[in-house]
């Protein structure tokens, strides 16, 4: 099939979160299944120079936007069979960052129109337009309601993947009218409006042929008032038009057997080498180099969603009463950052903090730690638990979204399972889950079994890509 995907970020070019990882892996996995895939992205000024140097200039596009026709250049780069197409607009995309601009509605509105211009310029029939998150969620509406895309309307089907329902793209009415040149009756009649705003994601859900989310459990959760962010009724009406497909992991990039940035590579048959990475991690951060002490870590954005307040309550008492170490790599809300900085001052022999993000350091944390903490209040899919298990680091997490789909509570009798789970919805605390993990850490036979169980899991993209391919085929045949 001929597939065009659209997103605001993509590894290895530009990344703010998990969306980028999906866009860097799913297209290549689909190519391996025999599909032709193009990914349309903004040409940001922060794309690494080594990739900019490889770009090939393609033909210019006419993009209808904001009351006129805008001419823009496109550039392409092929990686592992997938073609990445970059849309140039220096005024909109040369900002030094991806998100957080006051005119984000204009920036991603232009991207959405450019995606349709790319599709309209294709010599062969476009079977699927696959939009990701609110930034490109307007595409299904424009495709079906704008007569300028009549040539695409007959054969092209649409898919919208919700990576995080919390972010919906809410803007004033005039944004819809001015940016997209569509009749204001769509807003007044409630088609594109939601609670007094023009809502990109709601519009996409209403018009798209198939909605997907990034895990089966998250799909079920967003049908409820607790997780539906006000759109649960609309999502319930989609019926079979809403499914959950678990994200995969780039198992070549995250592979302890070939990872050259960790201290020593290892696999399931050489798990004793993991201890070398633990010592290297302790040494790097200036912690006592002890193999007998459980080393806990967290690599995360420091936001409410990630359950940092849970750790604020838990960690001071834990560090006071237990012989453990804790390492943090992350950044986010200032009061959370200050909490961890203060914690490291209070427990200098047990806690070290790196505010910010460093990819190489993250790999060493995954490889060297014993336990990975994820007390998330909600987690559409989650990537960190997949990486940690790939590296034989045991996840302790809250039972929600993709964490629920990928982590199975360890059973000491059956010796099955790959981690430990709290369940905030049933008053099962994170402290209890961590306590179970720490008690089994002292039992070497069990701990080795859990690590082996983690590393045996299949977290690869081919399995997920096949499910997306099935979705494409199904809606194309409707």
CA 220 to mean position of chain CA atoms: 18
Q: Give strand pairing partners of 76.
A: 56, 85
Integer Cα distance of 99 and 130 in angstroms:
21
Q: Are residues 134 and 62 in the same domain?
A: yes
- The pairs formed by 271-275 with CB atoms below 8 angstroms and a separation of 24 or more are 271/392, 271/448, 271/451, 271/452, 271/455, 274/367, 274/368, 274/391, 274/392, 274/451
Q: Is residue 263 part of a domain?
A: no
**What total of structural domains would you count in the chain?**
2
Q: What is the pLDDT of residue 66?
A: 83
DSSP annotation of 393: P
Residue 30's H or E segment, with its range, is helix 18-32
Nearby residues of 96 by Cβ (< 8 Å), 6 or more positions away: 45, 46
Q: Is residue 123 part of a domain?
A: yes
Q: Is residue 470 part of a domain?
A: yes
Q: Are residues 357 and 467 in the same domain?
A: no
CA 120 to mean position of chain CA atoms: 29
Nearby residues of 134 by Cβ (< 8 Å), 6 or more positions away: 108, 167, 168, 169, 200, 201, 204
Q: Is residue 261 part of a domain?
A: no
> Is 78:57 a contact under the CB 8 Å cutoff?
no
Render 307-320 in DSSP notation, one character per residue.
Answer: THHHHHHHHHHHHH
pLDDT digit string, tens, across residues 242-258: 999 999 999 999 999 99
Q: Is residue 239 part of a domain?
A: yes
Q: For the chain, how long is the longest CA-to-CA vector? A: 69
**Domain encompassing residue 171:** 2-248+462-476
- What order do you get walking across the sheet with 295-302 strand by strand? 351-355, 325-332, 295-302, 371-374, 394-398, 420-422
Q: What is the pLDDT of residue 301?
A: 93
Q: Are residues 412 and 429 in the same domain?
A: yes
Sign of CA dihedral 366, 84, 162, 241: negative
DSSP annotation of 47: S
Q: Are residues 184 and 289 in the same domain?
A: no
pLDDT digit string, tens, across residues 122-158: 989 999 999 999 999 999 999 999 999 999 998 999 9
- What order do you get walking across the sheet with 56-57 strand by strand? 56-57, 74-79, 82-87, 36-42, 2-6, 128-132, 157-162, 210-213, 242-244
Q: Are residues 314 and 180 in the same domain?
A: no
Q: Are residues 167 and 278 in the same domain?
A: no
Nearby residues of 266 by Cβ (< 8 Å), 6 or more positions away: 256, 257, 272, 273, 274, 277, 367, 392
Q: Is residue 229 part of a domain?
A: yes
Rg (CA), the chain: 23
Least confident piece of the model among 41-45, 192-196, 290-294: 192-196
Q: Are residues 318 and 406 in the same domain?
A: yes
Q: Are residues 219 and 294 in the same domain?
A: no
- Residue 459: pLDDT band (50, 70, 90) is confident
Q: Are residues 169 and 272 in the same domain?
A: no
Q: Is residue 253 part of a domain?
A: no
Token match 């042929």: residue? 209
Integer Cα distance of 47 and 1 in angstroms:
29
The annotation status of 195 as a binding-site residue, yes or no, is no
Q: What is the pLDDT of residue 180?
A: 87
Q: Is the predicted pLDDT of residue 46 greater than 90, yes or no?
A: yes
- Residue 179: pLDDT band (50, 70, 90) is confident
pLDDT digit string, tens, across residues 391-404: 999 999 999 999 99
Q: What is the mean pLDDT of residues 454-463?
A: 93
Integer Cα distance of 279 and 89 in angstroms:
48
| Percentage above 70 pLDDT, the chain | 100
Token match 């495709």: residue? 143
Q: Are residues 371 and 243 in the same domain?
A: no
Task: Label the pairing between strands 68-72 and 61-65.
Answer: antiparallel
Q: Are residues 220 and 281 in the same domain?
A: no
CATH code, domain carrying 136: 3.40.50.2000
Measured CA distances, 385 to 126, 248, 297, 396, 403 (Å): 36, 11, 12, 9, 7
Q: Is residue 254 part of a domain?
A: no
Token match 């900019």: residue? 52
Residue 463, both tokens: 């399995």
pLDDT digit string, tens, across residues 335-369: 999 999 999 999 999 999 999 989 999 999 999 99
Q: Are residues 40 and 104 in the same domain?
A: yes
Render 186-246 in DSSP notation, one character per residue.
Answer: HHHTTSSEETTEEEHHHHHHHH-SEEEESSHHHHHHTTSTTTSTT-HHHHHHHGGGEEE--
């Amino acid at each position: 099939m001929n597939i065009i995907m659209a997103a605001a970020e993509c590894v290895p070019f530009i990344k703010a979160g998990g969306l980028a990882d999906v866009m860097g892996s799913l297209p290549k996995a689909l190519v391996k299944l025999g599909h032709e895939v193009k990914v349309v992205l903004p040409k940001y000024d922060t794309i690494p120079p080594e990739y900019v140097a490889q770009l090939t200039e393609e033909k210019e596009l006419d993009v209808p936007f904001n009351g006129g026709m805008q001419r823009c250049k496109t550039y392409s780069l092929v990686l592992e069979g997938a073609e990445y197409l970059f849309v140039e607009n220096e005024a909109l995309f040369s900002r030094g960052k991806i998100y957080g601009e006051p005119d984000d509605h204009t920036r991603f509105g232009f991207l959405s129109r450019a995606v349709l211009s790319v599709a309209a310029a294709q010599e062969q029939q476009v079977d699927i337009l696959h939009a990701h998150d609110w930034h490109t969620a307007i595409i299904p509406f424009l495709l079906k309601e704008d007569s300028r895309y009549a040539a695409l309307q007959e054969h092209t089907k649409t898919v919208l993947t919700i990576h995080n329902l919390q972010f919906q793209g809410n803007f004033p009415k005039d944004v819809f009218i001015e940016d997209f040149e569509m009749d204001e009756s769509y807003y007044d009649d409630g088609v594109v409006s939601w609670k007094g705003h023009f809502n990109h994601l709601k519009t996409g859900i209403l018009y798209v042929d198939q909605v997907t989310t990034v895990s089966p459990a998250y799909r079920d959760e967003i049908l409820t008032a607790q997780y539906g962010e006000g759109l649960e009724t609309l999502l319930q009406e989609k019926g079979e038009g809403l499914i959950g497909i678990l994200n995969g992991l780039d198992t070549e990039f995250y592979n302890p057997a070939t990872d050259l940035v960790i201290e020593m590579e290892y696999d399931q048959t050489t798990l004793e080498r993991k201890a070398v990475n633990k010592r290297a991690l302790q040494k790097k951060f200036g912690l006592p180099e002890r193999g007998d002490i459980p080393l806990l870590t967290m690599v995360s954005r420091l936001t409410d969603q990630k359950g940092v307040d849970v750790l604020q309550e838990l960690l001071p008492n834990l560090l006071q009463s237990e012989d453990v170490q804790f390492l943090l790599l992350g950044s986010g809300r200032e009061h959370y950052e200050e909490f961890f900085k203060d914690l490291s001052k209070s427990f200098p022999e047990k806690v070290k903090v790196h505010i910010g993000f460093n990819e190489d350091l993250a790999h060493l944390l995954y490889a060297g730690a014993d336990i990975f903490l994820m007390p998330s209040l909600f987690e559409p899919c989650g990537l960190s638990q997949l990486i940690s298990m790939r590296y034989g680091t045991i996840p302790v997490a809250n039972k929600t979204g993709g964490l629920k789909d990928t982590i199975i509570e360890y059973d000491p009798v059956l010796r099955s399972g790959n981690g430990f789970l709290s369940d905030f919805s049933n008053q099962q605390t994170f402290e209890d889950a961590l306590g179970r993990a720490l008690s089994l850490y002292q039992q070497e036979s069990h701990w080795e079994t859990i690590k082996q169980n983690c590393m045996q899991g299949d977290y690869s993209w081919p399995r997920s890509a096949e499910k997306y391919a099935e979705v494409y085929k199904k809606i194309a045949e409707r």
